[in-house]
Chains A and B, each alone.
Chain A
Amino acid sequence: MSDHLEDYRPIVGSQVIDELRLLADRVRHLRLQHINSTSVGGGVAEILTRMIPLLRDLGIETTWDVIKGNQAFFAVTKAFHNALHGGEEHITEEMFQVFRDTTEMNLADLNTYGDVVIVHDPQPAGLIARKRDVGGRWIWRCHIDVSTPDPRVWGFLQDHVAQYNASIFSMPDFAQQLAIPQYMVPPSIDPLGDKNRDIPDADVRAVVERYGMDPGRPILTQISRFDRLKDPLGVMQAYRLVRRRHDCQLLLAGGGATDDPEGEEVLREVREAAGDDPDIHILELPPFSDLDINALVRGSTVVMQKSLKEGFGLTVTEALWKRKPVIGGAVGGIRSQLLNGVTGFLVHSPEGAANRAVELLGNPKLRDALGDAGHDHVKENFLTTRHIRDYLLLMLAMEHGDTDLSVLTASSPR
């Protein structure tokens, strides 16, 4: 990871960096505050960890605060998360009350001071109640797929969201009927972060061997939290179908997030389903395993992300950046990353995933072509620098209102 924007110039090009500096000049007088629910684990924390030093390097005063919550609160927000994804959850009035109580506690404890405050995901959404006291422009950033939400949970959340100045979604499909502007900002990965930077082949091989796999044989990999919506059991089913035609190993690796109490249960189910197959490798990676994850993806032959629901799917982005052929579930943000047949393959079932895996394992040229196109697609659309540009533009939009076009002159920096 780099804290210096100039380090990105050789990767993304001078034009991109120069435009970021132009934009930063226009919003440097605004303080930016991010608020979310976890500082470790999960895509949001990763993005903020990378992005904040770079925003500061651009001269933007940027801070990041994390709300507090006990296990009961995170069990509730996990249930909300699943329900917003369209899953069946039994949501009780008590659960709403736990959410309200934790929101009240955080309203009392957490200091909000940004000129622009970006609140990430449902957990801290209730902090909007503070806006009437402290002012500022408040933006709710939704990282999850809410295309078919549970109406009761969305209704509860919407009461909060409607009070924000604007909202951000990762895909147009997730947008809702809201009176506030809904911006589309896909998330991003850091090409210089430990999870994505170039590493020597020898190191890749060493890590693959250290985790008990044979680097000489094909490896199918899914790197993902142990979460039912990521369908690890479906991946295992696909692997077993592939094995009828091709020798290969399966790697299922994931870390936990402090706001995901369901993970252990799913991990147990996955281990049970794997039985005693020596070619199935299930790894529970601790936080800060980024270099190992990087090496494991680079050491893979084909990467899968067979999600049943997905906010965006940064694991897909990470694999594409490493020029890996990716097979992904045709859901959420995976669809905007895998242009079917060009930058990867979209599938709807374990059988579909198996068919594509067999095709890829037998065709190295196809693997290379998809990998190269995928890398270019990520470079253009899903790197940290593009994400920073969008946030700077959002800050500008908060100042200039919701018109279609603002022409800023040289003499009027605001």
Chain B
Amino acid sequence: MTTQKSFIFDTQLHLVVVTGIKACTLQELRTELARISESSVFLHTHQEYLAHDFQQTARYNDFARWVSEALREEPLAEKLAAIDLLAFTSIAELRDALLRTIDTYLATLDRPGYQCRPEEAFHFCRSRSFVLPTGLIADDVGDFFEKVASISHASLYFHFFEARLRLGRQTNDFSRWLTDRGRPDLASAIDGLNPYVRTLDELRRDIVQLGAQT
């Protein structure tokens, strides 16, 4: 039976929506970044973490990758990629950090910025997301760690990335629940796992290992 104390595993599946807004220069990127939806900021900073390992080698978010490949502004690309996503608990803060980084770079640029070819333009997209229960429910802490081992990438992504930042829950869903269940030690240990430097498989493995140590 499901109780209020059960952990309900959800998953998140999304479509990508093209906004029709695009940028060919750094200034255009900055202007549009300031007014696009939070869903768009989240998508372009996070979708790489759902992707296969080989695409994560450079760990560039979409903005950084485009600045590198289309504008050839590698120093800025590095700075955009180095923004610590774990330091923010809201997308508004993350957007501000991206804008500040671009503004600082623009202020020091002593030449006209490069304009990419139309076919290399940055296309702003957003996600149309659906969150739905997977049917997996954990009734106690032991059961929880057993079931974490079998959840999908999309489910893990939702509870770790989306819940914390996009839904503004401050921390990941697993840590919140474990705190409520009287296991702040485990909650804190899981919260300490940086999801931005792990693949989803590695993240799941490390969570399961923390559970096995108890």
- Residues of chain A whose beta carbon lies under 8 Å from any beta carbon of chain B: 15-16, 18-19, 22-23, 26, 147-148, 169, 172-173, 175-178, 181-185, 331, 339, 342, 373, 376-377, 380, 389-390, 393-394, 396-397, 400, 402-410
Contact = CB atoms under 8 A, between A and B. Distances in A.
B46 to A, nearest CB: 14
Given A19-B154, A147-B119, A404-B127, A183 B13 contact: no
Contacts of A16: 152
A181 B131 contact: no
Contacts of A182: 17-20
A408 B132 contact: yes
B37 interface: yes
A309 B20 CA distance: 20
B164 interface: no
Interface string B128-145: 111111110000000000
Given A183-B15, A377-B52, A176 B132 contact: no
Contacts of A15: 152-154
A399 to B, nearest CB: 10
B207 interface: no
A175 B133 contact: no
Task: Provide the main secondary structure of the chain A interface.
Answer: mixed
Contacts of B131: 405-408
B106 interface: no
10 contacts: A18-B152, A169-B18, A173-B123, A176-B20, A181-B128, A397-B130, A404-B129, A407-B132, A408-B132, A410-B8
Given A376-B52, A410-B133, A175 B18 contact: yes
B39 A405 contact: yes
B62 to A, nearest CB: 11
B209 interface: no
Given A22-B135, A406-B129, A376 B15 contact: no
B42 to A, nearest CB: 9
A183 B17 contact: yes
Contacts of B8: 410
Main secondary structure of the interface of B (DSSP, over half): strand
Nearest to A343: B54
Contacts of B39: 404-405
A177 B19 CA distance: 9
B126 A376 contact: no
A342 B129 contact: no
A393 B20 contact: no
B51 A380 contact: yes
Interface of B: 8, 11, 13-20, 37-39, 51-52, 54-55, 118-119, 121, 123, 125-135, 152-154, 166
A16 to B, nearest CB: 8
Contacts of A377: 52, 54
A96 B126 CA distance: 35
Contact of B130 (A173, A178, A396): A396
Q: Which of A147, A182, A405, A409 has the most CB of B within 10 A?
A: A405
Given A389-B13, A404-B126, A22 B134 contact: yes
A342 B54 contact: yes
A410 B18 CA distance: 30
Contacts of B154: 15, 19
B128 A23 contact: no
A177 B18 CA distance: 10
A404 B19 CA distance: 12
A229 to B, nearest CB: 15
A118 B13 CA distance: 21
B128 A404 contact: yes
**Most chain A C-beta atoms within 10 Å of own C-beta, residue among B51, B130, B134:** B130
B37 A404 contact: yes
A339 B57 CA distance: 13
A183 B128 contact: yes
Contact of A22 (B16, B123, B129, B132): B132
A12 to B, nearest CB: 12
A347 B39 CA distance: 34
